[in-house]
Structure 1
Amino acid sequence: MRKPLVAAFFALVIAGAGVAPAVAAAPAHASAPAAQAPAVQAVTYAGTVALSNCSGSVIRMPGSADSDPALVLSNGHCLETGFPDPGEVVVGQSSTRSFTLLNSAGTGVATLRASKVAYSTMTDTDITIYQLTRTYAQIRSSYGISALTLSDTHPTAGTAIKVVSGYWKRTYSCNVDGFVYRLKEGGWTWKDSVRYTSACNTIGGTSGSPVIDNATGKVVAVNNTGNEDGGRCTVNNPCEVDASGNVTVRQGINYAEETYQIVPCFGTGNQLDLNAPGCVLPKP
């Protein structure tokens, strides 16, 4: 995790602060005769939120209804009660946390409030999902802002992406460089993490930022960490571990956790069901 995860890891534990990853430009492709590239969506700050020391976004599942209570996605290490321990899963915890909702220009237009922590963990992934006191329809009617939709498919290497930080009101543009079998940081292990190209040089406070596919406008991951000092598998210095156990350290490279696996776990009314078909999120 990063600053306020990074050098301030323990301060973050207290404050619920966040991590930041890094990214770079898309790899050059040798051009074959051109199929038309998909139209690039306009990626703005609309629907992102600022938390204390972290970033996040108002999200919906592909099947969410306008009348459903809205959800906010951030990192597990951004949970206000402190980092979940390895193996710990938080479900249905009471919360009144507030979020500053941003419009397309990055201006705060409203304060949204949680009714509970629907789900939070730092095991296998690094996510916190809050349920809000307002529905998607109420937010859109009052502020003209729609939620960001989670993609229900695995991201693809080479995809052009943006990491959009509501905390800093800053956007990072790069590409998905590849995927990490296991990403280890301190006592935590995350599975099938996204590695950015070096252009996404995210900083502390970008933890929890949505990672948006430029072509579809959908959220494919949530920004969570980066190797700051070249350390090996330590806090703020995650390492990559392959299926054979080989360890690789990439100083200055940042990472995110995929979000497509969240979709099967939320059903009618945006209610969490960890026993639903296809749901692989860790259970309490």
Structure 2
Amino acid sequence: MNKPLAGAVLSLLLTGAAATPAVAQASTPQQAAAVTYAGTVALSNCSGSVVRTPASQPDDPALVLSNGHCLETGFPAAGEVLVNQASSRSFSLLNASGSKVATLRASKIAYGTMTDTDVSLYQLTKTYAQIQSQYGIAALTLNDTHPVQGSSIKVVSGYWKRTYSCSVDGFVYRLKEGDWTWKDSVRYTSSCNTIGGTSGSPVIDTTTGKVVAVNNTGNEDGQRCTDNNPCEVDQAGNVTVRQGINYAQETYVLVPCIGPGNQIDLNRPGCTLPKP
């Protein structure tokens, strides 16, 4: 994983954070959307963003997207799924320039897992309308279709206030890391060289401005399928290791599972997320 930060690695990561931000490999589309820090959040150990589905309403309780491995309860075991668990976790809400404008608070972990995907959704105590009126920040919209290979993307870290620019290099049938296996993961081109603390960052399509994935891991040492060293497994079972390459989990799969009132409903038509 682009692991949550711990004291033992903080100084090392601070040194890495001072490096020059990566540049995009592809040319910027003529109609590119403006991608800023607005709507991103910083967790205690990770990054995240305030998100909505295309059907979310202004008076719905807002949602924060991050990784399952960023949960305050620790890494969910393989096969473990959390739904509607009480939480009072706080999040630092950022504006376009990356300045903190508010502290948001969760009412619950709406959904969290590291099985098939690596995702957490927190429900907040404020609605989208309240966040917009009080702080002038609009939620990012989850794209409801599969990402496209070759598209230009930005990984926007609220924790580091740093943006990585690259493209979708391709998709991985199965991405295996330690005890966990993720399906149909996004593989970045090499310039998205994300680090610890970027876990949970929204991956934003620079043409639409919509969230297409959530940043979660990378192969650090060239090892095969171990913690912090995910490997790619194709449909025939062949294993590929790409040291220094990073990955994300698609978020369009979340949209069918979020019903009226932004409530998680794993029995909705089209919802394929793992159930408890």
Smaller-chain TM-score bracket: over 0.9
Rounded Cα–Cα distance in structure 2 between residues aligned with 1:194 and 1:240: 11
Identity of aligned residues (%): 76
Which aligned pairs between 1:12-91 and structure 2 lie closer than 5 A? 25-26=24-25, 39-91=31-83
The residue number in structure 2 matching 1:18 is none
Distance 1:24 1:252, change over 3 A: farther
What whole-Å deviation, never above 9, does each CA across 1:29-82 have from its counterpart, x for those lacking one?
A: xxxxxxxx5610000000000001100000000000000000000000000010
Rounded Cα–Cα distance in structure 2 between residues aligned with 1:77 and 1:24: 27
What whole-Å deviation, never above 9, does each CA across 1:193-216 have from its counterpart, x for those lacking one?
A: 000000000000000000000000
The residue number in structure 2 matching 1:95 is 87
> Partner letter of residue 112 of structure 1?
L
> Partner letter of residue 195 of structure 2?
I
Distance 1:227 1:271, change over 3 A: same
Rounded Cα–Cα distance in structure 2 between residues aligned with 1:161 and 1:49: 18
Distance 1:57 1:224, change over 3 A: same
1:5 to partner: Cα distance: 6.6
Q: Does 1:268 align with 2:260?
A: yes
What whole-Å deviation, never above 9, does each CA across 1:94-114 have from its counterpart, x for those lacking one?
A: 000000000000000000000
The one of 111, 120, 125 equivalent to 1:119 is 111
Answer whether contact 1:46 1:102 (CA < 8 A) is retained.
yes
Q: Does 1:129 align with 2:106?
A: no
Answer whether contact 1:23 1:197 (CA < 8 A) is retained.
no
1:4 to partner: Cα distance: 3.5
> Partner letter of residue 109 of structure 1?
V
Please report the RMSD computed on the Cα atoms of aligned residues, expressed in angstroms: 1.9
TM-score (norm 2): 0.93
The one of 221, 227, 235 equivalent to 1:235 is 227
Rounded Cα–Cα distance in structure 1 between residues aligned with 2:86 and 2:24: 41
Secondary structure of 2:229's partner?
coil
1:2 to partner: Cα distance: 2.3
The residue number in structure 1 matching 2:214 is 222
The residue number in structure 2 matching 1:140 is 132
Distance 1:23 1:265, change over 3 A: farther
Q: Where does the alignment leave 5 or more consecutive residues of structure 2 unmatched?
A: 11-20
Distance 1:7 1:132, change over 3 A: closer
Rounded Cα–Cα distance in structure 2 between residues aligned with 1:278 and 1:24: 37
**Size of the alignment, in residue pairs?**
265
The one of 131, 145, 149 equivalent to 2:141 is 149
> Partner letter of residue 132 of structure 1?
L
Q: Where does the alignment leave 5 or more consecutive residues of structure 1 unmatched?
A: 12-21, 29-36
The residue number in structure 2 matching 1:184 is 176
TM-score (norm 1): 0.90
